[in-house]
Structure 1
Amino acid sequence: MDSYPPILRHQNNQPQNLTNPNNTTDPNPIQDSDPVPTIDLKYLNHKNLDEACKEWGLFRLVNHGIPLTLMEQLQDVTIQVFSLSFESKQEACNECPITYFWGTPALTPSGKALSNGTQNINWVEGFDVPLSKLEQFQHQVPSLESIRLLLLDYATHLSRIATTLFEAMAKSLDLNLKETKSYLAENTGIVRVYRYPRTDVGWGMEVHTDSSVLSILNQDDHVSGLQVLKDDQWLTVKPISNTLIINLGDMMQAISSDTYKSVSHRVKVEKDIERISICYFVFPGDGVMIESSKYKPFTYNDFREQVQQDIKALGHKVGLGRFHLNQDS
């Protein structure tokens, strides 16, 4: 328990008012099967990719080209990092570009009170790692230095995968590739590593959409938790070794003028076992204007600021609705 942030230790010993992930009153039933579409990156079928983006906003990627040994090493070192004491993790991130967060999604300051006086507590802790700054520092904590070096290698694969997929999507959408290059800016890439503690109450992460163009998830091989909303049913995305889960974010939905969807998803926690996941997010470049037939022109910075304002004032993200042409913000 010493490795958990105090607020999660405290919450674990208190009566909970949060929704139980297994609550049978959930208005959207959970379906155990996993019909998530599979896309083969080595033999990329543009028609299948286009259908997955339109119908799901999410797919499983195989033949992605990342060495299995690298993915396994990342998982192992991530477990080592999270096993450090809470105080050690806090101190280790004081003088480096990595941000340590807990109890909330990364966009919300950890444990910050909302305007209604409550706290938005999720069962999660994590590290936010801006990939463009990884080469600028070395770390004295061995496990953090190990994960830094592994992520330098991992980042080259993530950039390759994201670029390949985005260019295929842009072609299917008849977008001008020269003009869309800055929609996927490599220097915006970040990795977030998450640990979801053992508990039988609450959520690891509540229902949300990602704000990114693309998100690339390397989830735990043995512990499920990711659920996606499809046709008013929650589907559990089963963990399968040596595969990645790709989901589209709000920026991709806007770029595609709602042809592609930003998928709603959540993370369920388990009573008896922790879950580790590693996710890559990539965004449009600074100042890049997203112009769409469905939305008012906006930059990702405009979007991010609005999300932060809404979380602080309302306790949740409103997202693309704020920028829709038919919406009075």
Structure 2
Amino acid sequence: MSESEVTMNLELETYPPMFRQQNNQSSTHWKVIEPVRESELTIPVIDLHCLSPEELGGACRDWGLFRLVNHGVPSTLLRQLHEHAKELFSLSFECKKKIFCSPLSYIWGTIATSPSGAAILTGPQNIHWVEGIHFPLGQLSQLQPQDHMLASFGLLVEEYGRHLGRLGRTIFKTMAMELNLDPGESETHLGESTGFLRVYRYPLRSMANSAWGIDVHTDSSVLSILNQYEVGGLEVLKDNQWLQVKPISDELIVNLGDMMQAISNDKYKSVKHRVRLDKHRDRISIGYFVFPEEGSVIRSSKYKPFTYGDFQAQVHQDIKAHGFKVGLERFELT
């Protein structure tokens, strides 16, 4: 066996079994995914040091997504998170299943249908080529890892979570100001205690143009903050055109979710996005997601009053019944 074959076999051991079985299969029955051309459109850049409600509102109305600069998260922390995540994902699948225990969860496959790690599949094209570690930030004090690598990473996640809590509060407060939301009503629409991190690995794939890391979706959050570091793959839908969101050093990507669209009475948009695989390198990204407080009722002229709990229950029901998330349409006023 050649050195490259040995390396590939060792790499495959780090993947969930379904990825090992499918990674080298013929692509005869796979739909070819056309590459996205580079666009002349420029994604908005928001500077947290001189945060303008008008500029932020424009990005939220026109795009539902923007690049965040001067955010105050140390570049050394972003690099360390990436390096530690890479080490953790390089462990064998069996080891990862063992060490990522409560309050963490280890997930892979079709993320929307596998919160506990079990994917619901009807064929190879249903696989989302992603594995992830779920970190509920409010419960990290319960984490008592025996593995020193995970313990070190947990400390980095706690520090990063504090930074992202600060960013989420600042951004939401400015959006609420721009939308002229009632302070008393909107103060529960961002529940910092609901925040969690998802650390994702999208495995390299020889047939990267025939399968998705994650297919088209919107986030259910109020807002999501992404650190995609070195390897790109994120694509967003703007004016019926798919655009690449290339990684830029020390910049974070902020996108709005379904809850923020409803809170804004559809003035802001929950952006559709997807993740493309890379042929040559694993892609590691770290996403922060935050939601309304439990029991916080979202009231809008577009939708029936609902809580995030109501929304989440409907999403789970739709996925079970139809295999996909329907989302805000379920709550539209008729």
Normalising by structure 2, what TM-score? 0.91
How far is 1:45 from its partner?
1.2
For residues 119 and 58 of structure 2, what CA distance do their matches in structure 1 show?
Answer: 40
Match of 1:42 in 2: 49
Amino acid at match of 1:99: S
For residues 134 and 81 of structure 2, what CA distance do their matches in structure 1 show?
Answer: 15
How far is 1:224 from its partner?
1.0
How far is 1:141 from its partner?
1.0
Match of 1:266 in 2: 274
Structural mapping, 1:1-329, within 5 Å: 1-16=12-27, 17-21=29-33, 23=34, 30-33=37-40, 35-94=42-101, 96-106=102-112, 108-109=114-115, 110-113=117-120, 117-118=122-123, 120-199=126-205, 200=208, 201-221=210-230, 223-326=231-334
In structure 2, the gaps of 5 or more residues are 1-11
Query: Which deviates more from structure 2 when the two are superposed, residues 308-317 or residues 62-71?
Result: 308-317
How far is 1:30 from its partner?
3.9
Amino acid at match of 1:3: T
The structure 1 segments of at least 4 consecutive aligned residues displaced by more than 6 Å after TM superposition are none
For residues 173 and 244 of structure 1, what CA distance do their matches in structure 2 show?
Answer: 23
Q: How many residues align?
A: 317
Alignment deviations for residues 26-69 of structure 1 (CA, whole Å, 9 cap, x no partner)? xxx64344610000001101111000000000000000000111
For residues 152 and 129 of structure 1, what CA distance do their matches in structure 2 show?
Answer: 10
Amino acid at match of 2:261: Q
Alignment deviations for residues 215-237 of structure 1 (CA, whole Å, 9 cap, x no partner)? 0001122x110000001110000
Amino acid at match of 1:204: G
Alignment deviations for residues 279-320 of structure 1 (CA, whole Å, 9 cap, x no partner)? 000000111111111001111111111111111221211000
Q: CA RMSD in A?
A: 1.5
Amino acid at match of 1:82: F
Contact 2:196 2:289 in 1 (8 A): yes
Amino acid at match of 2:32: N
More helix by share: 2
For residues 108 and 277 of structure 1, what CA distance do their matches in structure 2 show?
Answer: 19
Contact 1:108 1:311 in 2 (8 A): no
| Percentage identity across paired residues of the two chains | 54
SS of alignment partner, residue 183 of structure 1: coil
